[in-house]
Amino acid sequence: MLSLRIAFIVVPCLLAALWMLTPTASADEEHTKKAKDLVAAFTSRVRPLEVAVNRAWWDANMTGKKEAFQAKEDAQNKLDQVLADKEQFAAIKAIRESGKIDDPITKRAIDVIYLACLEKQLDEELLKEMTKLANEIEEQFTNFRAKVPDSSSEGGFKTLTDAEVRKVLKTSTLSDRRKETWEASKELGKVVEPGLKKLVKLRNEAAKKLGFANFHAMQLTLNEQKGDDLIKLFDRLDELTREPFKQAKAEIDVELAKQSNVKVDELMPWHYHDPFFQEVPAVFKANLDAIYAQQDIIRLCREFYKGIDLPIDLVIEKTGNDFSPREGKNPHAFCTDITRDGTDVRVLANVVANEYWMSTMLHEFGHSVYSSINIPEKLPYVLRSEAHILTTEGVAMMFEKMSKRRAWLEQMGVKVDDPKAFDETGAKMLRYQLLVFSRWCQVMLRFEKGMYENPEQDLNKLWWDNVEKYQLLRRPAGRNAPDYGSKYHIVGAPVYYHNYMMGELFASQLHHAIARKVFKDADPNTVTYVGNKEVGAFMRRYVFEPGRTMSWNALTRYATDADLSPEAFAKDFSGK
């Protein structure tokens, strides 16, 4: 591990670079001092409230209790009240527009605070109404469980966990059973639809009050992204992946048809192995789940991250080593930095011993090491976080891919009985996953953009139009249901999903940079990181330690020596 002394040396070097890029002609000490005072005052007011929100969020998602969700809502309202302070916002806006801050770190902190407060410059009642609605729908998500007909169960229905839904979709050879399970999982959409439609309208109302065309456009601005550039990037990705995806899906479809004893042209959305076809179905020669069924997934993660000098012991301890599914617990997986001071980072998960959860936990613990645990404490509180959503998702995605690499498993001490079959399956799944996921991200981006631009249109139709176009799935005959509402992110993390795709680009680009710089121009396909502490040192210096002092595109250039682009990603999905 780098010593604290050495770790802090990196930051001044970085700041020197920022200084050279920052105009100082009109800067002065008085304005800089005033800006620093504003940052300090903001931090003293907001920090305890953010910690309270994070703890309330954790309790609500771990228990599913109504009183916990009410506490979460109350905590968010208190935070929003401070962020909405108009006098505070006016002072921040004025010092930001003065152009007279001569310290780049303080200047960046002011920018970040400005963006955080901008979306809260609304009537208190509107803010509270949006928070209340979002909270209610998140509670519905946390407590929803699919129910399928079962004469032996009380009431004639059997309740399925999210893992049980996935197991049916992954293993059942009966089309009717697959269909009823898939449809049962989509019932959540009907539950949340009324509240979600109202929430979309409120979000748009808020955005327009702040001068934006709609909520989607506002969120992009707040996240330092440009709508036109984003669409150009996704149009380019559409062109790059369209034919390779079509070919990959044709191969996948043949195997899926065999599994359920149907013709290829009879395949429906429930014949795929997850509710949204966002993952590659496990239809190839080797069964990756069989290997992980006998493994302690948390132990493997602990040993892997320790080996690259990014230990996760604190995270496991703070989570109480509680990674098992249970009633009331949010059925998904998240990572949260509770205090943003390096002392309390947690991962919520529902681990089952299979490849999906091996990949997921490598992903979530990847988020956990890109946190205040490894971001220097000398940075201001508001900058002691990841540079951007897409950079933390990219780091997590880079690590998650290891679960499909035989070399990674064997270097971790796990015996693979049929190495050749695992290599063939793992390599194919890695390539095809990039294609499958990229097409799914197209659906999410285009749907959300369309929904906020015109919430009065037929959203059920908009959803399936995009699914058919980008994922090449058949719309079930006569189906007219709010299936979009069963995807958590549309409610709990709106206008977020495109960052996963940009994260994939960042992951590929960063992995290639590590192969080049740490592994001396090694073939990226052979690099697994296992036991190499230089990987941790590289990640600290070039990704973690800058915190949020840089924008996402500046950090990308700093870490990989290039702007974000699809080039490395294209090499990865082509297997080159």
Q: Give the model confidence (pLDDT) of 32-76 as tens digits.
A: 999 999 999 999 999 999 999 999 999 999 999 999 999 999 999
pLDDT tens, residue by residue, 459-513 = 999 999 999 999 999 999 999 999 999 999 998 899 999 999 999 999 999 999 9
Residue 92: strand pairing partners? none
Q: What's the average model confidence in pLDDT over 126-154?
A: 93
Question: pLDDT value at position 11?
Answer: 36
3-state secondary structure of 312: coil
**Gyration radius from the chain CA atoms:** 24
Question: pLDDT value at position 164?
Answer: 94
pLDDT-derived band of residue 26, with 50, 70 and 90 as boundaries?
A: low
β pairing state of 146-149 and 157-160: antiparallel
pLDDT-derived band of residue 573, with 50, 70 and 90 as boundaries?
A: confident
Query: Measured between alpha carbons, how far is 517 from 519 in angstroms, rounded to an integer?
Result: 6
Question: pLDDT value at position 259?
Answer: 94
Length of the chain equals: 576
Four-residue CA torsion sign, 491, 349, 572, 274: negative
Q: What's the average model confidence in pLDDT over 179-197?
A: 97
Query: Which residue's entry shows tokens 């955005």?
Result: 207
Contacts of 1 (CB under 8 A, 6+ apart): 309, 533, 536
User: CA 259, 261, 265: angle at the middle one, nearest 5?
Assistant: 100
pLDDT-derived band of residue 14, with 50, 70 and 90 as boundaries?
A: very low
Question: pLDDT value at position 461?
Answer: 98
User: CA 106, 109, 115: angle at the middle one, nearest 5?
Assistant: 145
* 8, pLDDT greater than 80: no
Question: pLDDT value at position 303?
Answer: 98
Q: What's the average model confidence in pLDDT over 97-119?
A: 96
* 3, pLDDT greater than 70: no
pLDDT-derived band of residue 576, with 50, 70 and 90 as boundaries?
A: low
Question: In terms of Cα–Cα distance, which of 424, 446, 422 is closest to 575?
Answer: 424
pLDDT-derived band of residue 208, with 50, 70 and 90 as boundaries?
A: very high
Question: In terms of Cα–Cα distance, which of 45, 189, 91 is closest to 480?
Answer: 189
Question: pLDDT value at position 491?
Answer: 86
Question: pLDDT value at position 146?
Answer: 95
Query: Which residue's entry shows tokens 């631009």?
Result: 453
Residue 335: strand pairing partners? 347
Query: Measured between alpha carbons, how far is 158 from 179 in angstroms, rounded to an integer?
Result: 15
Question: In terms of Cα–Cα distance, which of 45, 109, 48 is closest to 83?
Answer: 45
User: CA 206, 59, 42: angle at the middle one, nearest 5?
Assistant: 50
Query: Measured between alpha carbons, how far is 518 from 515 in angstroms, rounded to an integer?
Result: 6
Residue 158: strand pairing partners? 148
3-state secondary structure of 12: helix
Arithmetic mean of pLDDT over the chain: 93
Residues 505, 553: contact at Cβ < 8 Å? no
Query: Measured between alpha carbons, how far is 26 from 509 in angstroms, rounded to an integer?
Result: 37
Give the DSSP per-residue string, 379-400: S-GGGSS-S-HHHHHHHHHHHH
3-state secondary structure of 159: strand
Query: Measured between alpha carbons, how far is 441 from 330 in angstroms, rounded to an integer?
Result: 23
Contacts of 321 (CB under 8 A, 6+ apart): 298
pLDDT tens, residue by residue, 427-456 = 999 999 999 999 999 999 999 999 999 999
pLDDT tens, residue by residue, 505-558 = 999 999 999 999 999 999 999 999 999 999 999 999 999 999 999 999 999 999
Token pair in block for residue 372: 């205040």
Q: What's the average model confidence in pLDDT over 310-314?
A: 98
Query: Measured between alpha carbons, how far is 358 from 414 in angstroms, rounded to an integer?
Result: 13
Q: DSSP letter at 522?
A: -
Question: pLDDT value at position 22?
Answer: 45
Hey, what amino acid is at 153?
S
Residues 299, 361: contact at Cβ < 8 Å? no
Question: pLDDT value at position 20?
Answer: 36
Q: DSSP letter at 343?
A: S
